[in-house]
Amino acid sequence: MTHKLTLKIIVIAGLIYDSGTTVPVETYGQAVNRVSILRTTPVGGAPTAVAVDEQTQRAFVINNHSNSVSVLDTMSGAVLHSIPVGIRPSAVSIDMRTNRVFVLNELSNSVSVLNAGDGAVVSTVKVGAHPLDVVVAVHTHRVYVLNYMGSSVSVLDARNGQLVHTIFLGTAPGGIGVDESTGRIFIAADNRILTLNSRTWSIVSTIETRQYAGAVAIDEHAGRVIVTTFGKNGAFDKIFALNAKSGRLLYAVPINGGPGAVAIDKKTHHAFIVRFKSDFVNVLDMTNGRVIAPVAVGNFPLRVTIAEQAGLAFVVNAASNTVSVLEVANEKVVQTIRVGRSPRAVAVDERSGHVFVVNSDSNNVTVFTV
């Protein structure tokens, strides 16, 4: 059976409209479709992260200043629940197999474990100092929490939320990724890239980067790991590509301008890399290390994600209050949408065809039709 996908963008926007109000949206460039606002819904203070559970049809918006999680219906965009959590929640990840949501509380040094169905807090687990990033390994039921000030990684059991191990790194980590097909954990730790065995948590390999190592992205089908590195002057900014099994360095590509967040298109094995210092996105062919010409986007691009069924990449531009929409097939911007103030994160719900963009200074959610 063939399903027709109707893509919508749910955006945390700067103005509040009544539910169901249709409002024209300012677009730029080669707009492939007319965009109109279907709904705007308020959330909590300073939303900074979002994750989607396609099974329960829920979106979890992390409200950093109000210490809460807004649970949204992904079909309607309406808020169903507002859940109190710890102090300054900063990140979220979902295990759809165990029906659990893991919310990091940066100043509480804890993780709130939520039921993905109703959003209720199941438990609260103490972790290291200033947890900032989290990733779930669904097949092994492990949750890896990156503790920036604690210079460690807390490993939780996704089935019961209990702490099972702490990996001490000796340096501040900046990003983490897990490849379950190879049983490897990849950690960007200050000016090093560490490859760990996920069974023993022992270090398999270490790569020196000379610059701060930040984002980690994995293409399991291609057997590649991408790590972005950047520094103060940008002279040594690079993209490091590793073998996902051995952790061996395959190539390092210079990309100046502060390479940051990465999203990988599984069909083409192309990595879309935002350059937050230079307002560009670079596309990297992960199979051969070829860098495709940079694509100009908005000011201070922070995050990128890909809607695979629609063949589109969405880039949130924090300083210009816009979302750049790129066609994955030709790596071109086809539309620029003005959203709320200081967009910070983006997530896709492939099941409903909705995309959630979080704007930190606007405190609401708006639905656009594309």
Question: Does 179 fall in a domain?
Answer: no
79 and 4 both lie in a single domain? no
Q: Give me the mean pLDDT over the 157-162 stretch.
A: 94
Both 72 and 122 in one domain: the answer is yes
Counted domains in the chain: 2
| Residues 22, 76 share a domain | no
Determine the pLDDT at residue 364.
Answer: 83
Residues 73 and 10 in one domain: no
Confidence of residue 234 (pLDDT cuts 50, 70, 90): low
- With a cut of 70, say whether residue 325 has pLDDT above it: yes
Tell me: do 55 and 152 sit in the same domain: yes
Domain boundary among 168, 184, 218: 168
* Domain end (from 137, 168, 199): 168
| Residue 76: per-residue pLDDT | 86
Do 26 and 77 belong together in one domain?
no
How far is CA 128 from its chain centroid?
A: 21
pLDDT digit string, tens, across residues 101-110:
999 999 999 9
Q: Which range of residues forms the domain containing residue 126?
A: 49-168
What is the distance between the alpha carbons of residues 49 and 104, in angstroms, rounded to a whole number?
Answer: 11
What's the pLDDT band for 368 if we cut at 50, 70, 90? Answer: low
C-alpha span between 328 and 317 (Å, rounded): 18
Shared-domain flag, residues 340 and 324: yes
The string of pLDDT tens digits covering residues 55-99 is 999 999 999 999 999 999 988 888 999 999 999 999 999 999 999
Q: What's the rounded Cα separation, in Å, for the pair 51 and 94? A: 7
Is 160 found in the same domain as 80? yes
Residue 306 has a pLDDT of 94
Q: What is the domain-level CATH number for residue 151?
A: 2.130.10.10
Residue 173 CA to residue 189 CA, distance in Å, equals 4
Decide which of 168, 203, 236 is a domain's last residue.
168
Question: Is 98 within a domain?
Answer: yes
Q: Residue 22: which pLDDT band, with cuts at 50, 70 and 90?
A: very low
Mean pLDDT for the stretch of residues 271-299: 93
